[in-house]
Homo-oligomer: A and B are copies of this chain.
Amino acid sequence: MPTAEKRGPDWHNDDGEELFVHQDSDHLVASEAGSAPLHTFDRASSAAKRVLFGRNLSSAEEGEQRLSKRLALPIFSSDAISSSAYASEEILLALVGAGAAVLMYGPLVALAIGLLLGLIAISYRQVCYGFPNGGGAYAVASSTLGTVPALIAASSLIVDYVLTAAVSVAAGVAAITSALPELVPLRLEIALVALLLIVIANLRGIRESGKIFALPAYLFVGGALLVIGVGLVRIVTGDPAITWSADLHPELTEASQVLLPLLLLRAFAHGSVALTGTEAISNGVASFKKPEAKNAATTLIFMAVLLGTLFVGISLLAFAYGRAPIEGGETLLSQVARASLGDGPLYAFFQIATTGILLLAANTGFNGGPQLARILAADGFLPRQVGQRSGRLAFGSGIGLIAIFAGVLLVATGALVTDLVPAYAIGVFIGFTISQAGMVMHWRRQRDSGWRGRALLNGVGAVVTFVVLVVITAAKFADGGYLVFIAIPILTVFMLIVRERYRLHTRELSIEQGRVFEGLHRNRRIFAPFGEINRSTVRAVNVGRLLAGSNGELIALRVVFDEAEEAAIRDRFETHFPDVRLVTILSPYRAILEPVIHYLDEVEEELDEDGRKLMSVVMVPEYSGRHWWDRILHNGNGKRLREALIGRANTVVLDIPYRRHIPD
């Protein structure tokens, strides 16, 4: 072992790697080796990450690695584009109950949503320019609208992450069961297994990576464009597969005619789920190559055109092929794809690509959640650990929480996309509205040339998305939409409370600017209460001797239940520590904590020669086993003593955790 040869620090590890750039004895800079995880498991997973994603980057290097538009598109757009796999079906599901005749309005509703998509994309294009460091709804709102709207936006995003995971998994499973109908009865089971796999991948540290994301995303887009292209050619050539001409002007029933406006609003509300994920690119502007804003804006528009084409195209073809949605059965997209591509390998391949992009979309929920949580933690709205690079526990519990809620939603709805969509759309449009409203404020504040035009555009965006939000809410409140209006206030209030606590603690801990703290001049008494006489007690006594120094006194303290115990303990203690004073308290009422506290209370009344109270240092020895199950077996009295003493005047509490050193 090289270690044995070491003579004094050489600032290198056993492999000869430099741990620190040792500028001088008081200024060190940690190298990558000096920042490497300490434990084997962490080290192994860190090595695996390095292979997959390249080596760690120091803060200084980080700016150098940016995304091209070609890679950014699949990374940021799988969530948005994948919604074309189920949005058309949602429109028709809202219409189908009123008779087949109403289905002809499906493509029109899709077109209206396509126009809305255009408006939202143009609005978000402006977010890219206005917030080049990343303009999530939370970031925009917190810099323009204030804390509460920002937290509402953040809460709606958290709700959306859960629903993205649930909806995308459900839709992905529907793509599988469309190709293999015999799996329909196992839908929920497959969905939960898929969710579990995504969770495991995330806990193991998978990250958004262009190469992994690009393939299924481009395969899906290519496949869908092929499906649409074949269909369009058939429409133009008057292929017999196109059945729409026959049904072009069917009679609407009277009831349908009266209810038509309402039906169309409902269909619009359902279909607006196509717009979820549109904001993702504007969140990630900072990851683009320079010029960031321009590249992001271009990618965003490209994404919107693509999504619009797929969504409107699929809706049109469904109508042209005369297909209607089958609740819980084959998906509409699968029917359309089968009609265009036939039943062969091309179709199977397309279903695989569809499943792939949907599972990647589900993954964005697990990626975005912790990222947002880190930003919220940095702003003091979530526990600080969440924001620490190494807060693996917090990260894991975040992933776990998203998974649990998504799993509950899947179980509650039987993994049916259409039951999950209402809440999803509502959550997304809350974010849209707040974000656009914030942008209006942003431009008003900037007042640079052309600000009025930009403010107007975002203003229109805010109003339109708000109107859509009201429509969706009205249409879907009772169908699960209300859950969003319960979850968001709870999350918002929770985050406000966290910040309030942090502020309180900061006030409590703050010290006067510039005050010089000298050493403790007061005389002191060091108390070492103990239970058994063991290694942990030896350590406490030794530390106590150091603390007592030359002008303090060390007093070991033991509660005994009878005279015999007193004699035995005193005898043993005085053998081991002949120079230490031992005070015993006989406790015939079998109380342990109370007599110790009363004793300290009394002893503290004693004053030193200057008439001041003496300071007490109470050391609480603690057996700190290797595992939590070892620890809960001990330290009951120590913990209670510590709790009773923390916050007392003139008392310093010291925990002395002990575990025996086992040499490697």
CB distance from A409 to the nearest CB of B (A): 25
How many residues of A sit at the interface, in one of the four size bands? 35 or more
Chain B residues within 8 Å of A534, by CB: 506, 509-511
A643 → chain B closest CB, angstroms: 9
- Closest residue on chain B to residue A59 by CB atoms: B588
Residues of chain B lying within 8 A (CB to CB) of residue A493: none
The residue from B35, B591, B598 contacting A594, defined by CB atoms under 8 A apart: B35
Selecting from A324-332, A358-366, A651-659, the interface stretch reads A651-659
Contact of A517 among B506, B538, B599, B634 (CB under 8 A): B538
Cα of A648 to Cα of B658 in the assembled complex, Å: 10
Partner of A390 from B7, B13, B591 at Cβ < 8 Å: B591
Closest B residue by C-beta to A627: B501
- A118 at the A/B interface (Cβ < 8 Å)? no
**Is A26 part of the contact surface with B, judged by Cβ < 8 Å?**
yes
A607 contacts the other chain (Cβ, under 8 Å)?
yes
1/0 contact string of A516-551 vs chain B (CB within 8 Å) = 111110001000000011111011011101110100
* CB atoms of A8 and B589 under 8 A apart: no
A486 in the interface, Cβ–Cβ < 8 Å?
no
- Which of B28, B552, B603, B633 lies in contact with A599, CB distance below 8 A? B28
Within 8 A of B (CB), among A563-617: 566, 575-579, 581-595, 597-599, 602-607, 617
Q: Is the CB of A38 within 8 A of B384?
A: no
Cβ-defined contact, A598 with B34, below 8 A:
yes
What is the minimal beta-carbon distance from A3 to any residue of chain B, in angstroms? 9
Please indicate the chain B residues that have their CB under 8 angstroms from the CB of A583 in the complex. Answer: 25-28
Contact residues in B for A532 (Cβ distance below 8 Å): 509
> Do A35 and B505 have beta carbons less than 8 Å apart?
no
| Docked-complex contact A517 and B498, CB < 8 angstroms | no
Residue A52 is within 8 A (CB to CB) of chain B in the complex: no
**Is A251 an interface position by the 8 A CB rule?**
no
**Bound-complex Cα distance A56 to B508 (A):** 40
Tell me if A585 and B30 are in contact (CB < 8 A).
yes
- Kindly list chain B residues whose C-beta atoms are within 8 Å of the C-beta of A653: 656-657
Q: Which chain A residues in 116-138 approach chain B with CB under 8 Å?
A: none
Point out the residues of chain B lying under 8 angstroms from A634, CB to CB.
384, 505
> Would A590 and B389 be within 8 Å (CB), given that A578-B516, A583-B28, A656-B652 are in contact?
yes
Q: In the complex, which residues 362-409 of chain A have their Cβ closer than 8 Å to any Cβ of chain B?
A: 383-385, 388-391, 394
B660 contacts A508, C-beta separation under 8 Å:
yes
A502 contacts chain B at the CB level, 8 A cutoff: yes
Cα(A657)–Cα(B652), bound, Å? 8
What residue in chain B is nearest A586 (Cβ atoms)?
B29
**Which residues in B have their C-beta under 8 angstroms from that of A659?**
646-647
A543 to B625, CA, bound (A): 25
Over the window 29-56 of chain A, the binary record of Cβ atoms lying under 8 Å from chain B Cβ atoms (1 yes, 0 no) is 1101011111000000000000000001
Contact, CB under 8 Å: A594 / B647: no
A505–B532 Cα distance when bound, in Å, is 12
**A236: Cβ under 8 A from any B Cβ:** no
Complex CA gap A514/B577 in Å reads: 10
In the complex, which residues of chain B have a beta carbon less than 8 angstroms from the beta carbon of A343?
Answer: none
Closest Cβ–Cβ distance, residue A593 to chain B (whole Å) = 6
Partner pick for A630 among B35, B57, B505, CB 8 A cutoff = B505
Is the CB–CB distance between B20 and A588 below 8 Å?
no
A239 CB–B CB distance under 8 Å: no
A602 with B656, Cβ < 8 A, contacts A588-B59, A594-B36 known: no
- Quick check: A589 and B6 within 8 Å, CB to CB? no
Within the complex, what minimum Cβ distance (angstroms) separates A101 from chain B?
A: 49
Given contacts A595-B20, A655-B654, contact A602 B517 (CB under 8 A): no
User: Are A535 and B511 interface neighbours, CB within 8 A?
Assistant: yes
Q: Which residues of B contact A506 (CB under 8 A)?
A: 534
Say whether A58 faces chain B, with CB atoms less than 8 Å apart: yes
Per the bound structure, the CA–CA distance linking A646 and B38 in Å amounts to 14
**Which residue of A517, A603, A623, A642 has the most chain B CB atoms within 10 A of its CB atom?**
A517
A649-B633 in contact given A28-B586, A592-B388 (Cβ < 8 Å)? no
The contact sample of 13 A-B pairs, CB cut-off 8 A, is: A6-B605, A8-B607, A25-B583, A26-B582, A27-B566, A30-B589, A30-B591, A35-B591, A35-B595, A38-B597, A59-B588, A514-B576, A653-B657
Top 9 closest pairs, chain A to chain B, by CB: A655-B655, A385-B636, A35-B591, A509-B534, A58-B588, A30-B595, A647-B659, A35-B589, A9-B602
Measuring CB to CB, which residues of chain A are less than 8 angstroms from any residue of chain B?
Answer: 6-11, 13, 19-20, 25-30, 32, 34-38, 56-60, 383-385, 388-391, 394, 498, 501-502, 505-506, 508-511, 514-520, 524, 532-536, 538-539, 541-543, 545-547, 549, 552, 559, 561-562, 566, 575-579, 581-595, 597-599, 602-607, 617, 623-626, 629-630, 632-634, 636-637, 640, 642, 644, 646-649, 652-663
